[in-house]
Chains A and B, each alone.
Chain A
Amino acid sequence: MTHLHIPDGSLPVGVASAGWAVAAVALAVSLWMLRARDARRNLALTGVTGALMLAAMSVPLGPLPVHLNLAVLAGVLLGPAMSVLCAFSVNVVLALVGHGGVTAVGLNTVLLAVQAAGGGAVFSLLRKRVAPATAAALSTAVAVTVSLGIGAWILGIGGSPATQAYSRGLAAGAAGRLWRIGVVAAPIALVGLVCESVAVGAAVALLDRVRPDLVGGSRGD
């Protein structure tokens, strides 16, 4: 969920550039956080986690036009800093096969990184109080909701002047009609959110039983 499949040429240059700028700052901060760590030791796990996210994204949830992201799972496994790198890598590979434009990689990195890093951080707070599966499901729900909110803001619902201009354009175009059927879109988003939360919760529950070292924060930041 909350991966913008917006191709090149659809986003205004200002919005796409702002997305790249924010993503660049997030990546720079992540690399700075990783400078003193043996980050390359986790590089193979980062690659495989990113590949798992790609595999999850390629499987639609039945007839619904949504798919799992497993971004929060990446946050739990890799920690905030490494998960931002993972989010960027996933979006670059997706852009290379036409799933979201190259110009939208910045915004998509921000959205996935919010889920991964934010969800991972919420999970590390909650896991001291509740069971890991519950903590994972709750942190996924929170992270995906925040990410959806940012995604909606980017698409121009009460956003900055740049996105408001984009919003006016959307309202006049085909997507304006799509927005008006938000009555349909909102329940689908809700179902997607529940699916993501349950799936990540179940995955973390199993990991906690079989490889508790992975969800114990030993790899976190």
Chain B
Amino acid sequence: MDLSYLDYLSTCGRTPLHRAGPLSKVLLAAAFVASAVLARDTRAGLAGASLGVVVILVAGIPARVAAGLLAYPAVFGWAFSAGDPWLGCLRAVTAAGGVIAVLGTTRFSDVHSIVAACMPRLLADSIYLTYRSFFILSDEVARVSRAVRLKGARDLRALGAAAAAALLRSVDISERLYMVLIMRGYDETVRPAPRETTLSPCDAWPVLLGAAALCVSLML
């Protein structure tokens, strides 16, 4: 999973999509998913998938990383399509392109601010802490995996024990995280970042790309 790299890109990228507001980008992702669902034949699928690739490149995600990220849904889209496997593959690339582009250009705190407005706060906070904890934990898991490899233990029991060791560290981390939240004035909710309600010229990019994706599915 290239979650760490996408998170890095979302904060350090300098493309027009990075400057666009989170709401317009969430709408972009929704438009690409709708486009994937609505694509009726290979021609519409191909146009949608091309836009999916374009939006990923506009988001500044390097082609090699983009290929890796899109290959996964493409393979499963081919395998699990009801009907033409190539249409399934193209639909998968269309939707994944839109969603990955949004994650690669939007800070997760901004995504959280949109998510928190649409669902119960406990649920939105759970998603936010899962995402943030992944980065805390991934270093720990890498350290434990290295230790297991160096000790030559490769059986499942060792793997389970290593997972448990990582889990024990996770529990410590979670308890520390809770204390940090309390010390920083946590009042039983993770406050979402203030949502931008005004549109900027940069919002034209996601709006146009989203509209184009919907148009190719509806008109082709």
- Please list the residues of chain A having a beta carbon within 8 angstroms of any beta carbon in chain B: 5-10, 12-13, 27, 31, 34, 39-41, 43-52, 54-59, 68, 70, 73, 85-86, 88-90, 92-93, 95-99, 101-103, 155, 166, 168-170, 172-175, 178, 195, 198-207, 210-211, 214
Q: Which of B83, B96, B126, B160 contacts A198 (CB 8 A)?
A: B160
Distance between Cα atoms of A103 and B38 in the complex (Å): 13
B129 interface residue (CB < 8 Å to A): yes
Given A7-B95, A93-B131, check contact A55 B141 (CB 8 Å): yes
B23 interface residue (CB < 8 Å to A): no
A31 touching B123, Cβ below 8 Å? yes
B80 touching A175, Cβ below 8 Å? yes
Contacts of B1 in A (CB 8 A): 54, 57-58, 97, 99
Distance between Cα atoms of A13 and B39 in the complex (Å): 13
- Please list the residues of chain B having a beta carbon within 8 angstroms of any beta carbon in chain A: 1-3, 6, 29, 33, 36-37, 39, 69-70, 72-73, 76-85, 88, 91-92, 94-96, 99-100, 102-103, 111, 120, 122-123, 125-134, 136-138, 141, 145, 156-157, 159-161, 163-168, 170-171, 173-175, 177-178, 181, 188-189
Contacts of A34 in B (CB 8 A): 122
Q: Which of A47, A59, A175 contacts B126 (CB 8 A)?
A: A47
Q: List 29 A-B contacts (CB under 8 A).
A: A7-B77, A7-B95, A8-B37, A9-B88, A10-B91, A27-B123, A40-B188, A43-B129, A45-B174, A47-B132, A47-B133, A50-B134, A52-B163, A55-B137, A88-B126, A88-B127, A89-B123, A89-B130, A92-B127, A93-B127, A98-B69, A101-B33, A101-B96, A173-B83, A174-B81, A174-B88, A178-B79, A199-B160, A214-B171
Contacts of B102 in A (CB 8 A): 96
Which 10 A-B pairs have CB atoms at the shortest separation, nearest pair first? A202-B160, A47-B129, A169-B82, A9-B91, A8-B95, A7-B92, A50-B130, A51-B133, A174-B85, A9-B36
A174 touching B79, Cβ below 8 Å? yes
Given A10-B88, A73-B167, A169-B83, check contact A46 B126 (CB 8 Å): yes
Contacts of A211 in B (CB 8 A): 168, 171
A44 touching B73, Cβ below 8 Å? no
Q: Would you give the shortest CB distance from A118 to chain B, in whole angstroms?
A: 19
Of A51, A173, A206, most B-chain CB atoms within 10 Å: A51
Distance between Cα atoms of A59 and B166 in the complex (Å): 14
Contacts of B99 in A (CB 8 A): 95-96, 98, 102
Contacts of B81 in A (CB 8 A): 9-10, 169, 173-175
Distance between Cα atoms of A96 and B2 in the complex (Å): 11
B83 touching A68, Cβ below 8 Å? no
Contacts of A6 in B (CB 8 A): 76, 80
A173 touching B163, Cβ below 8 Å? no
Main secondary structure of the interface of A (DSSP, over half): helix
Distance between Cα atoms of A89 and B132 in the complex (Å): 12
Q: Which of B82, B127, B174 contacts A44 (CB 8 A)?
A: B174
Q: Quick one: closest A residue to B121, CB to CB?
A: A40
